Structure 1
Amino acid sequence: MYITTTSSPMVELSRQQDGSHDLTAFARDVAEGLRQPRKTLPSRYFYDGTGSRLFQQIMELPEYYLTRSELEVLTQNKYEMAQQFSRQGFFHLIDLGAGDALKTKILLKELSNQQSEFDYVPVDISGDAMRQLSGSLRQELPQLRVEAVVGEYFQALEWLQEHKSERKVVLFLGSNIGNFRPRESINFLSSIRSYLRPGDQLLMGVDLRKNPEVILKAYSDASGVTAAFNLNLLHRINRELGADFNVDQFCHHALYDPQEGVMRSFLVSKTNQEVHIQKAGVTVHFDAWEAIHTENSCKYTIPQVEELGRQCGFKPASVFYDSRKGFADVLFSID
């Protein structure tokens, strides 16, 4: 287990399991998903270099309210959050799906200003993202102790197991819980809970139900950036798995179900066609207007979120809203 410190000239990572470059797993998951009667592709493969850049553009779109809303929540409530995190002394701040930690840095700086005793454990599938984050923190918070975990969430569970006796605050921001199906979200949060102990906390970002038109535009913007982000998944399969998708023969489609509170994204074939995926060893037939499901994004009510936490062994402690009450960061505790 290596320690990454922002004062060190070298960046060392605690795990070297960079899931964003695991071609064997990528090929397997693509083959399995496209063999289903209702075709799917895992959303975690959106984030190659191009996908990450496109998502940065999405976050700046006028229609994409989520990032701005959570930035507001954290900025307006950073003092109280830091106070609640620090009440029992030293803790590990574990950031699941950290990325560039744009939002988390608000808390890191506030915790540092309050002279809280903590270290920072960002977790991300991309080793490149973790190296860039460690470099930026070396400049912005040179005294902060950072230990980066590279891999998917189960690598974070391994880290939690190794540090089970030490106090932890887990961040799961950005409404990432919304990408899970209901049973998956329960299983995931229950897994996290099993590695925590009384006194530990979980801060989870959730996008709340609102005007369906506002939600839909966030996932299908007028300038077409979200469409390019979705279609880039096919470009990635072509490039990395030797496929021959004619990307121009697919289109992006987004659909929001206000009864279920689920935003769904699809790639739709415009014509009858066959696609060969060399490294996955499959040939896939598409009927005209057949869809590939690429992403879910669930929207919640606060009672739903609190009940989800209770089912998984967490106690709702505080709810922090943005000014429109369209997004919330919910703090859970463990008694």
Structure 2
Amino acid sequence: MSIQTSLPKQHRLELIRVKPSEVFESETLPKTVERGLSHRPKYLLCRFIYDAIGSELFEQICDQPEYYLTRTEDAILRDHANAMVDGWDDPPTMIELGSGSSTKTRRLIEAALDRYGSLHYVPIDISGTILEDSARTLIDDYPAIRVTGIASDYDTALRVVAERIQGPKLLVFLGSSLGNFDDEDAVGLLQRIRSTLSADDRFLFGTDLVKDPTILEAAYDDSAGVTARFGKNILTRINRELGGNFDLDGFRYEARFSPEHHRVEMKLISDLEQIVTIPDLDLTVSFGAGESIHIENSHKYTPAILEQLAKQSRFLEEASWTDPDGFYRLQRWRT
């Protein structure tokens, strides 16, 4: 155990706001809605579910009994955080993609502080408000931590990290967030992450594993209907922000596991023939009875799939940890 040193609070917090990349900014809600609802089959991008209401609903989803992911990942972190942060003589800079409130990262933060005595933590999130709130809470709770928050998209923020952060790094990507990316996009993200890392750096990330489809589908369609309200929030946003007239009661939510694509597919399905108008886009959309809008995928993994991802992105697995039921897996990769 190292002795933790207290640093002056005014020297322990820096917030960097960087304009997101043109590619990220080009995916606006109006453009996505116009393109996605004119496509066959229809689709919308899941990130637009996450306004203030959507984010609150997601927090509620994590508390549902069917949603095992959060508590299972937390149990693995509780039991193995010390090993996950070990391996350096001096403290590595801990960088987290999609940090949010940083709640789930505290087990790693505390393990690193216990091991090294101090820590530089670099949370990355598109929301500057969430980033600032969580950063201020962390420096209040941990006198030996220094926080540099970067508000931007992943690719832009990683370039900032490469330019500013010297020495060993532990890059963290929790919450099975990789599963939000289709296979090709996941490989692309992993390759870009690898390009920012050196031989002294490590990449720690969580993945949800393939399992009984009834367990998977229940996790994404809970009995209380929270996930259904979450999914329909994208229609609520279209109505509120673009003047749409979606009747939410005219759509049902569905989550089904596709073994072929090793993913849970989430859709909103029209219960009847109907026409929706979105005046701000000068768009009229017809729906047939049973026609769906694909709103989200959550990919699931096997050790073989993860091995292939590592090979395609030129990583080597150094260690992995899972729960007794084999539901969830954390792995630490090196270049």
1:25 aligns with 2:28: yes
Matches within 5 A, 1:233-248: 233-248=234-249
> 1:27-65, CA deviations, whole angstroms, 9 ceiling, x for partnerless residues?
112222112111111111121111111111111110000
Write the distance in 2 (CA, Å) between the matches of 1:195 and 1:15.
20
> Structure 1 residue 258: deviation in Å?
2.8
Write the distance in 2 (CA, Å) between the matches of 1:32 and 1:125.
23
Write the distance in 2 (CA, Å) between the matches of 1:181 and 1:296.
8
Write the distance in 2 (CA, Å) between the matches of 1:6 and 1:258.
53
SS of equivalent to 1:148: strand
CA contact (8 A) 1:97 1:124 kept: yes
Write the distance in 2 (CA, Å) between the matches of 1:18 and 1:160.
14
Moved more, 23-32 or 125-134: 23-32
Matches within 5 A, 1:147-296: 147-163=148-164, 166-296=167-297
Write the distance in 1 (CA, Å) between the matches of 2:11 and 2:270.
49
Q: In the alignment, which residue of structure 2 is the partner of 1:120?
A: 121
> Structure 1 residue 180: deviation in Å?
0.9
Q: In the alignment, which residue of structure 1 is the partner of 2:40?
A: 37
Write the distance in 2 (CA, Å) between the matches of 1:101 and 1:144.
13
Write the distance in 1 (CA, Å) between the matches of 2:83 and 2:249.
49
Aligned amino acid, residue 186 of structure 1: V
TM normalised by structure 2 equals 0.90
> Structure 1 residue 271: deviation in Å?
2.1
Write the distance in 2 (CA, Å) between the matches of 1:276 and 1:6.
56
CA contact (8 A) 1:6 1:134 kept: no
Cα 1:162–1:325 shift into 2, 3 Å = same
Cα 1:179–1:23 shift into 2, 3 Å = closer
CA contact (8 A) 1:100 1:133 kept: yes
Q: In the alignment, which residue of structure 2 is the partner of 1:54?
A: 57
Unpaired stretches in structure 2, ≥5 consecutive residues: 1-6
Write the distance in 2 (CA, Å) between the matches of 1:157 and 1:130.
16
> Structure 1 residue 90: deviation in Å?
3.9
CA contact (8 A) 1:320 1:328 kept: yes
SS of equivalent to 2:44: coil
Aligned amino acid, residue 35 of structure 1: S
TM normalised by structure 1 equals 0.90
Moved more, 61-70 or 129-138: 129-138
Write the distance in 1 (CA, Å) between the matches of 2:42 and 2:8.
44
Cα 1:34–1:215 shift into 2, 3 Å = same
CA contact (8 A) 1:63 1:221 kept: yes
Write the distance in 2 (CA, Å) between the matches of 1:102 and 1:54.
17
> Structure 1 residue 93: deviation in Å?
1.2
Q: In the alignment, which residue of structure 2 is the partner of 1:15?
A: 17
Cα 1:211–1:229 shift into 2, 3 Å = same
1:73 aligns with 2:76: yes
Write the distance in 2 (CA, Å) between the matches of 1:33 and 1:67.
30
Moved more, 263-272 or 241-250: 241-250
SS of equivalent to 2:317: strand
Write the distance in 1 (CA, Å) between the matches of 2:333 and 2:11.
37
CA contact (8 A) 1:6 1:141 kept: no
Cα 1:284–1:192 shift into 2, 3 Å = same
Write the distance in 2 (CA, Å) between the matches of 1:159 and 1:172.
17
1:131 aligns with 2:136: no
Unpaired stretches in structure 1, ≥5 consecutive residues: none
Aligned amino acid, residue 61 of structure 2: I
CA contact (8 A) 1:227 1:252 kept: yes
Aligned pair count reads 327
CA contact (8 A) 1:16 1:127 kept: no
Cα 1:239–1:171 shift into 2, 3 Å = same
> 1:233-286, CA deviations, whole angstroms, 9 ceiling, x for partnerless residues?
111122122222111211111111234321000011122222233444432222
Report sequence identity in percent: 35
> Structure 1 residue 142: deviation in Å?
3.2
> Structure 1 residue 193: deviation in Å?
0.9
Write the distance in 2 (CA, Å) between the matches of 1:280 and 1:37.
18
